[in-house]
Structure 1
Amino acid sequence: MSRLGYGEEIRWRRVEKYRVNDMLFTARANDETVITAGSSAEGLVCVHESDLDRLFVLNNVLCVEDGVDIHTIPTYIEVFRMDTFAYPGHCRMLLERFTFTYCASIYKALCLDGQGNALLSSKLFLDEAKHRYNGELPKKRTGPALTVFTGGGSTFDLVFAIRCQCPGILQRWAQRSRYWPPPNVVQKVVSSESFLCPVGCKSSINEHLEWRICFNIGETELVHNLNGTQAKEYVILKMIVKEVLKPNNKEITSFVLKNIIFWQAESNSPSMFQERNLIRWLHDALKTLRTVLSSKQLPYYMIPERNLMEACGLQDQQQRKWVADITDMIEEGPRVILRLPRIRQAIICHPEPLLWFSRRRMELELLELEYMNRHVQCMDEDSEYDDTDIILQAIYWRQSQILWEVIQRMFIEGSAVNDRDSDEIKRRILM
């Protein structure tokens, strides 16, 4: 797993680079904070392995839970009150304090509830918020996310969000009896920012008014505190879903798998998660996934009242097939990992070629992450960048050297390639 790009060193280098990238983009934004979320923020995917998930958080808007004193909040901030009379894990947003800081995404999304209260509609907010993005037009919408082209065929998922203060919800989570995470990490999660994302529960009659309560930063902190064995188990579980089960409509998401790992970690002593027990814990997670699919029930780790499989769209025939497939995988024992092409190829590959490739893959990815940040630093106000920058040129030159070494070795070993294939080879290496 480490040779394939899932070791601890590269994991933390990714985390560091994306944090820097967030700071660079936030510095360029007018009234938003940019936060990388999901697997990229967790450091558990190669740089182009999956779409980049990003939150764009409005700076001058805040929603608070009942009991929070709004007089402690600066007067320039628009304040809403959380109405949790909604599907668990969701809320409605009631306007509590009006300001004159104009924000079209907010004011055009306000509506009345028939009782004199102004509500912020998640649907209208998302319709307005997407016009704030100055890049390419979104190609599709998935839940609260707008999938946006970034050039070169790559995409990222953009989610506009609003900060919220919900100490009551976090304290209920913190007070649970658990083996994991340790108290200092629990305190970090409780102290981290929470958000409301513009999406309601699909089975709710008030879906267009509901907002999902999210703890992206806290959940990223939890993933960072998984040990190496738990992190690799999570990665392998995602590989199994992607390459063996192959869901077409997000019936099983990475978020579902992450919650399975969280519940497993909370319920068992950290000392039990040793490298020699990796397959045992993988089988345990597969058994849980089988139960989740059979029952269509999985409590959200942060708010257990919310069922993550609610309205997931899982059909009966697909459900039966996946339950049977997972049963077969469990019965295979350790050989289940041979179903995964990348792991199978790594096992079959001789140690020397794998080590040679691993070193070049890691250097190429680190250069790509550095290029990502330098590219932002060289942008002007019109998002044009200076491609003559000496550091950008040095990164490009070294990447070209590495790719030429790979092409030469492929040619020697009988592959029909040439230097014109370098862009495609680079894309495949970093996936």
Structure 2
Amino acid sequence: MAEGGVVYTRSETGSDHRHSGLYSRHSRNYVESVSVEICTIMTRLGYGEEIRRWRVEKYRGLDRLRNKRSTDVISITAGSKAEGLTGYFESDKDTLYILKHVLCVEAGTNLDTIPDDIDVFRMDTREYPGHCILLQERPATIPSAQIYNSLCHNGYGEVLLSSRLFQDYMYICQDLYMPPLLSRYAEPTGPSRPVVGLDIIYDDIVDAIPCHCPSILQRWAARPRHWPSPVIVQKVVSFGACVTPVGHKGSDNKHIEWRICFNIGETELVNNLNGTQAKVYVILKMILKDLLKPTKKEITSYVLKNIILWQAENTQPTEFYERSLLHWLYDGLRQLRTAIDKKHLCYYMIPERNLMAACGLEDALQRKWVADITDMMDEGPRVILRLEKIRKAIVASPEPMLWFSQKRMEVEMLYLELQNRLTQITNENGDLDLGYLALEFYSCLNVSDVLGRIRQEGNPAIGPIDVLIRLLM
């Protein structure tokens, strides 16, 4: 039996399970044919492999360009944007700011290998699993303001790095990082600093400290698994970890606790899911947002990501293909129902950490969601019709839908290319060149084409900016 998750057995995750549940209520041919149709629709909605891989590469390129001009932090796109699973305006953009001149290490690390200009903190992991307290092991020759202003004493002669003081200081100083256009900030949520622009959440910034914790990563790497490949496992290990300024919700010491995270490695893992797995993940997120509708983050998309990762690890990769999409969606819903019912889901990277601990899920809502998910599972393939985005795509005429899908993909590709080119120009001389102007011109042409077709079909007149935003949603 594999370690972690809402514990899986082979019969629960592999082909042995296929005779029960979904297939006991609906014929296999029907379920598999609907699965293929849904895969096609998801591709047209902007979740196909071509646009997914394009997004991943462009956001990686954007990170490389931004980090060329940064001296204090490394900027890393994280979350659904880095995974290529959302359009430009479809959801917030998660950005990790990793400080360069500070490092936290496990006990017993040889400090002689670490340059003197780096603040070094030792991880005390005797807190809640997946969290730690940072004890100052060696101050830098010239400490950074972020670190110096976040230090406190624990009353036993030791100096700690306070997550609360650190987050407060970064919130006060964030004007240094953002342009004036985006200078309206929402209140911090968890470890993030939401940046608001144009009346939408533009960026969710999470400040982080690099973390050297080989023992944690080696425990993860040593697990028996079907996925990912040994090469990818070692790649994830090489990315290391970081800590972010948020403690365990139920802890009396949460103001000095830090959460151990593996954002870069987890992005690599999601990017190694195949197209069917990625689409199951996206549909689960739609179900969470459109049907369950949590209002206090009792359940987040991060819970769903962990369900998908456990599902992948415990199953032969050949089991995931287009005709099996609904089977794996059904399996994901079942695992989500169990996690809610038991208030327990093991964190994929550190199974001792329960992602459902202190999630604020009240008993009445817990019972409702368990019942709602049971109803969805009983519905079988028709549950897809509850999702507005997919339902509209199903009833739309095929030719206009295909045309609009192609235009949307072209505009998004051009827009991401524009963002990268503009960043490159900013790094250089700041002068717009013919390449940038050509990209802008072709973007305008595509928006104009869509606007013309909308008006031709007798739909209410909308402006080009509205069209652009809709195309990038």
TM norm structure 1: 0.95
1:185 aligns with 2:232: yes
Aligned partner of 2:351 in structure 1 is 304
Q: Given that residues 179 and 268 in structure 1 are in contact (C-alpha distance below 8 angstroms), is that contact kept between their aligned partners in structure 2?
A: yes
Relative to structure 1, the CA distance from residue 73 to residue 28 in structure 2 (aligned partners, 3 Å threshold; closer, same or farther) is same
1:48 aligns with 2:92: no
Aligned partner of 2:459 in structure 1 is 415
Relative to structure 1, the CA distance from residue 103 to residue 150 in structure 2 (aligned partners, 3 Å threshold; closer, same or farther) is farther
State how 1:90-109 maps to structure 2 within 5 Å: 90-109=131-150
TM norm structure 2: 0.87
Q: d(CA) in 2 for partners of 1:15 and 1:286?
A: 27
**SS at 1:141's partner residue?**
coil
Aligned partner of 2:280 in structure 1 is 233
> How far did residue 338 of structure 1 move?
1.2
Q: d(CA) in 2 for partners of 1:251 and 1:365?
A: 32
Q: Given that residues 247 and 256 in structure 2 are in contact (C-alpha distance below 8 angstroms), is that contact kept between their aligned partners in structure 1?
A: yes
1:65 aligns with 2:106: yes
Q: d(CA) in 2 for partners of 1:94 and 1:430?
A: 45
Q: Given that residues 184 and 195 in structure 2 are in contact (C-alpha distance below 8 angstroms), is that contact kept between their aligned partners in structure 1?
A: yes
State how 1:21-40 maps to structure 2 within 5 Å: 21-40=62-81
1:262 aligns with 2:304: no
Relative to structure 1, the CA distance from residue 225 to residue 380 in structure 2 (aligned partners, 3 Å threshold; closer, same or farther) is closer
> How far did residue 150 of structure 1 move?
4.1
> How far did residue 151 of structure 1 move?
4.7
State how 1:355-370 maps to structure 2 within 5 Å: 355-370=402-417
Equivalenced residue count is: 426
Q: Given that residues 103 and 211 in structure 2 are in contact (C-alpha distance below 8 angstroms), is that contact kept between their aligned partners in structure 1?
A: yes
Q: d(CA) in 2 for partners of 1:97 and 1:151?
A: 43
State how 1:88-237 maps to structure 2 within 5 Å: 88-133=129-174, 134=176, 135=178, 136-151=183-198, 153-237=200-284
Q: d(CA) in 2 for partners of 1:389 and 1:403?
A: 22
Aligned partner of 1:336 in structure 2 is 383
Q: d(CA) in 1 for partners of 2:111 and 2:143?
A: 20
**SS at 2:101's partner residue?**
strand
Q: Per chain length, whose mean CA-contact separation is higher, i.e. which structure has more relative contact order (CA < 8 Å, sep 6+)? A: 2
Q: Given that residues 340 and 366 in structure 2 are in contact (C-alpha distance below 8 angstroms), is that contact kept between their aligned partners in structure 1?
A: yes
> How far did residue 395 of structure 1 move?
2.5
Q: Deviations over 1:134-175 (max 9, x none)?
A: 221521211000001245745100011000000000111111
- Unaligned 5+ residue runs, structure 1? none
Q: d(CA) in 1 for partners of 2:296 and 2:423?
A: 34
> How far did residue 100 of structure 1 move?
2.4
**SS at 1:379's partner residue?**
helix
> How far did residue 389 of structure 1 move?
4.2
- In structure 2, what residue type is equivalent to 1:165? H
Q: Given that residues 119 and 143 in structure 2 are in contact (C-alpha distance below 8 angstroms), is that contact kept between their aligned partners in structure 1?
A: no
- In structure 1, what residue type is equivalent to 2:230? P
1:392 aligns with 2:436: yes
- In structure 1, what residue type is equivalent to 2:169? E
**SS at 1:373's partner residue?**
helix
Aligned partner of 1:430 in structure 2 is 472
Bigger Cα displacement from structure 2, 265-274 vs 231-240: 265-274
Identity %: 56
1:274 aligns with 2:321: yes
Q: d(CA) in 1 for partners of 2:143 and 2:124?
A: 24
Relative to structure 1, the CA distance from residue 412 to residue 274 in structure 2 (aligned partners, 3 Å threshold; closer, same or farther) is same
Q: Given that residues 129 and 353 in structure 2 are in contact (C-alpha distance below 8 angstroms), is that contact kept between their aligned partners in structure 1?
A: yes
- In structure 1, what residue type is equivalent to 2:460? A
- In structure 2, what residue type is equivalent to 1:4? L
Q: d(CA) in 2 for partners of 1:117 and 1:36?
A: 35
- Unaligned 5+ residue runs, structure 2? 1-41
Aligned with 1:74 (options 109, 115, 120): 115
Aligned partner of 1:15 in structure 2 is 56
State how 1:308-327 maps to structure 2 within 5 Å: 308-327=355-374
Aligned partner of 1:83 in structure 2 is 124
Q: d(CA) in 2 for partners of 1:43 and 1:371?
A: 17
Q: d(CA) in 1 for partners of 2:186 and 2:308?
A: 32
Q: d(CA) in 2 for partners of 1:425 and 1:359?
A: 15
Q: Given that residues 104 and 128 in structure 1 are in contact (C-alpha distance below 8 angstroms), is that contact kept between their aligned partners in structure 2?
A: no
- In structure 1, what residue type is equivalent to 2:268? E
> How far did residue 219 of structure 1 move?
0.5
RMSD of aligned residue pairs (Cα, Å) = 1.6
Q: Given that residues 132 and 257 in structure 2 are in contact (C-alpha distance below 8 angstroms), is that contact kept between their aligned partners in structure 1?
A: yes
Q: Deviations over 1:12-41 (max 9, x none)?
A: 111111111111221222211000111111
Relative to structure 1, the CA distance from residue 405 to residue 231 in structure 2 (aligned partners, 3 Å threshold; closer, same or farther) is same
Q: d(CA) in 1 for partners of 2:410 and 2:265?
A: 30
Q: d(CA) in 1 for partners of 2:150 and 2:184?
A: 20
Q: d(CA) in 2 for partners of 1:396 and 1:153?
A: 23
> How far did residue 113 of structure 1 move?
1.0
Aligned partner of 2:448 in structure 1 is 404
> How far did residue 117 of structure 1 move?
0.7
Q: Deviations over 1:37-59 (max 9, x none)?
A: 11111111111111000011110
- In structure 2, what residue type is equivalent to 1:109? S
Q: d(CA) in 2 for partners of 1:195 and 1:257?
A: 21
Bigger Cα displacement from structure 2, 119-128 vs 23-32: 23-32
